[in-house]
Amino acid sequence: MGIFSLVTGRPGQSGFGSASTAEQVSDGIDATNLTAIVTGGASGIGLETARVLALRGVHVIVAARNMDAADEAKQLILKDNERARVDVLQLDLSSVMSVRSFAEGFCALDLPLNILINNAGVMFCPFQLSEDGIEMQFATNHIGHFLLTNLLLNKMKDTARTTGVEGRIVNLSSIAHLHTYQGGIQFDKINEKSSYSDKRAYGQSKLANILHANELSRRLEAEGANITVNSVHPGLIMTPLMRHSQILMKTLKLFSYFLWKNVPQGAATTCYVALHPSLKGVGGKYFLDCNEMKPSAYGSDEKLAKQLWDFSNKLVDSVSGK
């Protein structure tokens, strides 16, 4: 999948490409027996992902920080499809306490969990620390999803074991993972303001999403769990995620308009990886435009992935007071 395919929308090996929409890649798929959580499902590609999953019959849990926006998203989905099964739960991924509360609340519903889509995030925000004292982009984009996934993993294993249906975890990364700090992850400077770059910090967090997916995939495969984990780049889409850099993004789009997608196209790769039967048993991969792509050298580094896993566990434990 080169620049020509990206610009023209020419399908790749999967039969889909950059011009494919979420509805197109999931057409004909009956997912009425599945339950999914979509973080950040109240706006942008998260909302479109939730809408299309619900259209295919999935019981969707929209996890969002802003409950008013989440309720509006639910009504939009129901307006499009009155038979949709949609619920909303509050989740602030920058807060370890909120992540734990969400996981407890979801498990208390006694629902199955087949699909977890780690979609939410922040982008290019000025330096700030989360309530737990962690740099905000790393906290929200990686640590929050890392903890959430760990807390829901037993529920996913139980669901896969009792139903015989493969579970799927999808981490939304970005091509921005190519633009990170030297060494990939600044383990010893995660919270250092003096060396902070909003662009590189974002790239670092998106690299972390890939490494997390790869390491978790390796661990689940080793234990024989019927769950796959993959990461995706949705493409360049103008969404609320870019609120901290709207002038920069609009200027960039002016000169590279042919590379940008609309929201239905932006949600396509997520829905493809989450639902398509051709990906049964496929894990530890990185997808762009609904086709497998090779990430950066850092993104393929197994040693770096394990180091990040151990670092993330220690960071979460230190915040939790363990």
- The beta-strand segments (E) located in the chain are 35-39, 59-64, 85-90, 115-118, 167-172, 227-233, 286-288, 291-293
Q: Cα(286)–Cα(284) distance, rounded to whole angstroms?
A: 7
174-191: string of b/e by CB count within 10 Å (b at 16+)?
Answer: bbbbebbbeebbbeeebe
Cα angle for residues 285, 291, 294 (degrees, 5° grid): 45
Catalytic: 286?
no
Burial profile 231-243: b = 16 or more Cβ within 10 angstroms, e = fewer:
bbbbbbbbbebbe
The residue whose two tokens read 């929409």 is: 21
Out of 181, 196, 272, 286, the active site residue is 196
Residue type for position 181: Y
Which residues does the annotation mark as catalytic? 196
